[in-house]
Amino acid sequence: MAQIIDGKKISAAIRAEIAEEVKAMKAQGIYPGLAVIIVGENPASQVYVRNKGKACEEVGIYSEIIAMPEETTEETLLAKIDELNRRKEISGILVQLPLPKHINEASVIAAISPDKDVDAFSEVNVGKIMIGNHRFLPCTPAGVMELITRSGIEIQGKNAVVIGRSNIVGKPQAMLLLHANATVTICHSRTKNLAEICRTADILVVAIGKADFVTVDMVKPGAVVIDVGMNRKANGKLTGDVDYASVSEVAGYITPVPGGVGPMTITMLLKNTLTAAREQNA
């Protein structure tokens, strides 16, 4: 039976460290601050944004939630970002995605100063991750790395398989595992022999967005299985991309959903906000 990697517990430990760090920074006159912009009324986005504000408050980071109406023009949003780029008390800026269809996401991401891009989505920060000279780490993949390392699992020399190649999760995840000296394979919807490749994985990270997709026959006994997926079932229950009940019988370690990767993403955002504040006050 797999050992459960408890994301809630690990996240709470890191947030306690962050709270201490915030105290120390404030004693040096550095006040980290995060601005979160939300455009429109997407209910899931509203929950995420509220949780980000709450998390900031808990660790002593100043936060501003800027709620803009659905009909906001791209020009107005870019002007708001420009204002936040200039404000000294704002160390990090995050624009909650998805944006309404009439706004170009790429233009918005590009407008955020790379020094304040705490989601690490901008071309500059993605490039820095690629060459291993990062300023901010992408939040979800960085959270996965913390879950693995804080569970005492060695990454170096291991075969890691990442399913999913999105810019937000799959690709940066593969890069972080590579920087940690794993041998990395990236799989996607056109991959042939997916199950066979997955069975080579000592570490399997799944970020697809399909409920219970990874079944026990795809997992090597003893493997570390990290489930990034967040899917709502018809009954409203949250479930991952991994068939937890069967896979946990053979895996060595496994993350549950909820309570695995989910809590780590905001925690890594808080960490990036501290990094931004420190750099801006260096």
Q: Is 227 strand, coil or helix?
A: strand
**Catalytic residue flag (residue 210):** no
**5 forms part of the interface with ligand NAP (CB under 6 A):** no
- Please give the Cα distance from 259 to 261 (Å, whole number): 7
For ligand NAP, the closer CB: 60 or 209: 209
Cα angle, residue 174 at apex, residues 13 and 276 outer, rounded to 5° = 50
Closest CA relative to residue 163, chosen from 111, 109, 122, 200: 200
For ligand NAP, the closer CB: 84 or 129: 129
**Catalytic residue flag (residue 119):** yes
**169 forms part of the interface with ligand NAP (CB under 6 A):** yes
Two structure tokens written together for 127: 């490039």
**261 forms part of the interface with ligand NAP (CB under 6 A):** yes
Query: Is the CB of residue 65 less than 8 Å from the CB of residue 51?
Result: no
**229 forms part of the interface with ligand NAP (CB under 6 A):** yes
Interface with ligand NAP by CB under 6 A: which range of 39-47, 107-115, 122-130, 259-267?
259-267
- Please give the Cα distance from 158 to 127 (Å, whole number): 25
Least Cβ distance, residue 280 to ligand NAP (angstroms): 26
Query: Is the CB of residue 228 less than 8 Å from the CB of residue 164?
Result: yes
Total binding residues toward ligand NAP, as defined by CB under 6 A = 25
Q: Which of 33, 92, 170, 256 binds ligand NAP (CB under 6 A)?
A: 170
Q: Which of residues 51-110 bind ligand NAP (CB under 6 A)?
A: none
In the numeric block, the tokens 């018809």 are attached to 234
**Catalytic residue flag (residue 202):** no
Select which of 6, 96, 115, 227 is catalytic. Answer: 96
- Please give the Cα distance from 228 to 184 (Å, whole number): 17
Select which of 6, 115, 117, 119 is catalytic. Answer: 119
Q: How many CB atoms lie within 10 A of CB 85?
A: 15
Which residues are known to be catalytic?
52, 96, 119
Instruction: Using CB under 6 A, list all residues that contact ligand NAP.
Output: 140, 163-166, 168-170, 187-191, 194, 207-210, 228-231, 261-262, 265
